[in-house]
Amino acid sequence: MMKKHVLAAAVSALVLGSASSCLAAANPFSDVPKDHWAYDAVTQLAKDGVIEGYGDGTFQGSKNITRYEMAQMVAKAMAKNDVSAADKAMIDKLAAEFADELNNLGVRVANLEKHADNVKWSGVFAQKAMEGNHENSTWWEKELFLNVDGQVNDDWKVHAGIDTKWGTNDKGFNGEEEFSDAYGASNHKVSNMLYHVYAQGPLFKGSNFTFGLFTPGLQSGYVGNARVKGAELDYKVGKTSIKAYGGRVNEKVGDLSSNWSGYFRRGGGIGDYKTGQDTETGFDDRGLYAWGASVEHAFTDKTAAGLGYYQLKHSYAYDNGSSSLGLWAVDFRQNLAKNLDLTAFYSHGNQHFQNKAYDVKLTYNGSPWGSKPWGAALGYRYLGSDALIMSSVVNGSEKPGMKGLEAQLWFHLAKNIQLQNYFFNGSPIDSFYNDSNNGAISGSRQKYHRTAYFSSLIFAF
């Protein structure tokens, strides 16, 4: 009967650390026989983080029972793909030495190989500070976002995004508290909230199918960035991608058109949800549905463009939900020079009011999530409330219904640590909010500020 078990990598790290500090020998497994050829191989693989140890820091490779334990370790090491050529050669040599034990383990070994590193965790911790055009104080926020990715088979995977936030607008930095967001008629606590959960894989050659709760991937999210519970099918042929999605919108009221969303008001000042209801939030529980389709083509390595059509159904802003918002959108990307890109989009809605939206932006050094040490962007936006569903152009401090200049500046402070800063300077599109009282919203006396900012210190893991 086996008396020892392979521990998780975190425990192994503690074992190796204590062994190296307490023993004079370089080998982290204290009981390995000095005359066993596996000594050097095990030591090197342990240093490279490929092989994991045991709870007591030992490797007793000359005893039959621990040969089986060693076989389990080797099986898991054999399943890893990101090892060096030298480590791969040592793993192969160990596998030959313990071939009988590996064969005797049979299905168990096959199962270890199949599922080693099958589920992967990643995420970010972020400290944020933001102030919107319609707000009079800074919103401080701490956020922990976890990604869980599991490989179902060679083609399909499952992804979950788990979000936890603490925030405050009156207690300052480090005064953040747990809070809830309104989703239609109900409040949802932003603590271990499933932000995304979906399965993804091909239905046929060249396709990619997504099913669950997700953010659509059409045209960089310029006009259809609202999460949905539904499905998306993408098909790529050559340099052309054809995409389509549909489902029930699953976004908080404050990010859609509402009296909680600053100047983001559809239909000439109306929100997506009916107000004054006898519910937890005061909004009704209507189901908003969205769908869209796009054709996107890369003409060259430097030039790409797309055309799409979208609909938002049952918004209270349009005839109490009996009419739909339909809109066309075009987008364009051009690499102008090394590390310099021009991006733009234009959309037009069928419901009049603020029925056009566009954004033109110059970006240096690409995305903050790339490898460049720093980057910047400068652009101009005009985001009509009736020309989009939700837009990836805005951040937490900004909303549609505004026009003006935008800027971005980000730095990589260290490996996996970055500071992102977004700035906006502009005014409401609707002249109703630009009255003589410094732009106060009639009735509420809530004044707009030309400047909004969003800063975030991010630690990725």
For the ranges 3-12, 173-182, 318-327, 355-364, the lowest mean pLDDT is seen at 3-12
Name the residue with higher pLDDT: 187 or 66.
187
User: Would residue 4 count as lying in a domain?
Assistant: no
Query: How many other C-beta atoms lie within 10 A of the C-beta of residue 301?
Result: 8
DSSP state of 259: T
Our count of domains for the chain comes to 2
Sequence-distant (≥ 6) Cβ neighbours of residue 239 within 8 angstroms: 297, 298, 299
pLDDT at 88 over 90: no
Sequence-distant (≥ 6) Cβ neighbours of residue 286 within 8 angstroms: 184, 273, 274, 314, 316, 321
Read off the pLDDT of residues 210-233 as tens digits, 9 standing for 90 and up.
Answer: 999 999 999 999 999 999 999 999
- Residue 339 · residue 366 · CB < 8 Å: yes
- Residue 6 · residue 52 · CB < 8 Å: yes
Whether 105 and 204 share a structural domain: no
Whether 441 and 315 share a structural domain: yes
Whether 351 and 439 share a structural domain: yes
For the ranges 14-18, 186-190, 266-270, 349-353, the lowest mean pLDDT is seen at 14-18
Task: Identify the CATH number of the domain in which residue 251 sits.
Answer: 2.40.160.10
For the ranges 77-91, 308-322, 399-413, 414-428, the lowest mean pLDDT is seen at 77-91
Q: How far apart are CA 407 and CA 420, in angstroms?
A: 11
DSSP state of 440: P
User: Would residue 2 count as lying in a domain?
Assistant: no
Read off the pLDDT of residues 137-153 as tens digits, 9 standing for 90 and up.
Answer: 899 999 999 999 999 99
Whether 203 and 282 share a structural domain: yes
Whether 307 and 435 share a structural domain: yes
Helix and strand element counts for the chain (H, E): 6, 19
Sequence-distant (≥ 6) Cβ neighbours of residue 321 within 8 angstroms: 286, 314, 315
Mean pLDDT of 99-110: 62
Name the residue with higher pLDDT: 99 or 257.
257
Whether 104 and 253 share a structural domain: no
- Residue 376 · residue 407 · CB < 8 Å: yes
Whether 380 and 355 share a structural domain: yes
Q: Would you place residue 95 in the very low, low, confident or very high pLDDT band (cuts 50, 70, 90)?
A: confident
Give the angle subtended at the CA of 243 by the CAs of 238 and 244, to the nearest 5°.
Answer: 155
- Residue 83 · residue 104 · CB < 8 Å: no
Confidence (pLDDT) at 32 = 42
N-terminal to C-terminal alpha carbon distance within the chain: 38
Confidence (pLDDT) at 385 = 96
Q: Which residue, of 89, 115, 141, is where some domain finishes? A: 115
Whether 191 and 92 share a structural domain: no
User: Would residue 260 count as lying in a domain?
Assistant: yes
Read off the pLDDT of residues 248-303 as tens digits, 9 standing for 90 and up.
Answer: 999 999 999 998 888 899 998 899 999 999 999 999 999 999 999 999 999 999 99
State the chain's mean pLDDT as an integer.
83
User: Would residue 3 count as lying in a domain?
Assistant: no
Confidence (pLDDT) at 107 = 42
E strand segments, 132-223: 139-151, 157-168, 177-178, 180-183, 186-189, 193-201, 207-214
CA torsion 255→257→259→264, rounded to 10°?
90
Mean pLDDT of 362-377: 93
Alpha helices (H) in 146-224, listed in sequence order: none
CA torsion 362→340→377→329, rounded to 10°?
40
User: Would residue 73 count as lying in a domain?
Assistant: yes
pLDDT at 7 over 70: no
pTM to 2 decimals? 0.75
DSSP state of 392: T
Q: How far apart are CA 100 and CA 74, in angstroms?
A: 12
Place of tokens 């209507």: 286
Mean pLDDT of 348-377: 94
Mean pLDDT of 170-178: 95
Confidence (pLDDT) at 165 = 97
Whether 73 and 192 share a structural domain: no
Read off the pLDDT of residues 33-60 as tens digits, 9 standing for 90 and up.
Answer: 556 566 567 667 777 777 765 444 444 4
How far, in whole angstroms, is CA 123 from its chain's centroid? 8
Q: Would you place residue 23 in the very low, low, confident or very high pLDDT band (cuts 50, 70, 90)?
A: very low
Which residue range is the domain that position 250 belongs to? 119-460
Give the angle subtended at the CA of 128 by the CAs of 124 and 130, to the nearest 5°.
Answer: 145
Name the residue with higher pLDDT: 118 or 312.
312
Give the bridge partners for 114, in sequence order. none
Question: What percentage of the chain has pLDDT greater than the value 70?
Answer: 78
Name the residue with higher pLDDT: 320 or 435.
320
Confidence (pLDDT) at 196 = 98
Whether 362 and 271 share a structural domain: yes
